[in-house]
Amino acid sequence: PTAEAPAAPGSASEEPAPAAAGGPVPAAAVTVFSPQGTPDSPASASLAIDGDPATAWSTDAYFDPFPSLKSGVGLLVTLEDAATLSSAKVTSESPGTVLEIRSAPSDSTSLDQTQVIGQATLGSGETEIPLDADGRTTHVLLWITGLSSDGGSNKSSISEIEFIGSE
C-alpha cells in the first residue's frame, strides 16, 4: 500500500501555483513607447507578440543614431498575469541593437518610473536576456537605446518578445 505524507504547513500544495510558474508568461497587449515624439510604426507593434518570427515591428529609420534626436524608443508589453520574470527572449534580425528590459508600474508610465531588470546587445536571431526582477510585474518595457546600423540607416526590428517566469 502507498500512503502520501500530509502536506507541510506553508507548502505549495496549500495554494495553487500561478500558471506562469517557471514557464512562458504570455503577453496580452503591446504598444509603442515613445515619450519624446511620435511613436514608431504603432500599427505593427502587435507583430512583436504574435508568435510568428517571420513578422516584425520596426522602428523608424533614423539618419543619426540615438540619442541625437531622442534617447530611445520601445515596446511596452502588458502580460496576461503578473509574474516574477527570470528571462526574456528577443528575436530580431537587427544585430547590434542595444536594449534594456524594464519593469513598469502601469501601461501609462514615464521612463523614470521604470526599473532596469536586464540589458543586452542583440545578435542576429534569438537573444536570451537574464532578468533580475524585484517582484511581480504586469508591464514590461523593451527600451531600445541603440539602433542597428546598416548602410547608413539606423533602424531596428523586433520579430518576437517572450518572457519566462521564475515562480
Cα 138 versus chain centre, distance? 11
* Cβ neighbours, 10 Å, residue 156: 29
**Cis previous bond, 67, omega within 30:** yes
* Per-residue pLDDT in tens (0 to 9) along the chain, 167 residues: 544 444 444 444 333 344 445 899 999 999 999 999 899 999 999 999 999 999 999 999 998 888 788 889 999 999 999 999 999 999 999 999 999 999 999 999 999 999 999 999 999 999 999 999 989 999 999 999 999 998 788 999 999 999 999 86
| Range list of H helices, the chain | none
Look-up: residue for cell 540589458?
119
pTM given for the model: 0.85
- Dihedral sign from CA coordinates of 54, 60, 125, 114: negative
Q: Which of 20, 51, 48 lies closest to 33 in space, CA to CA? A: 48
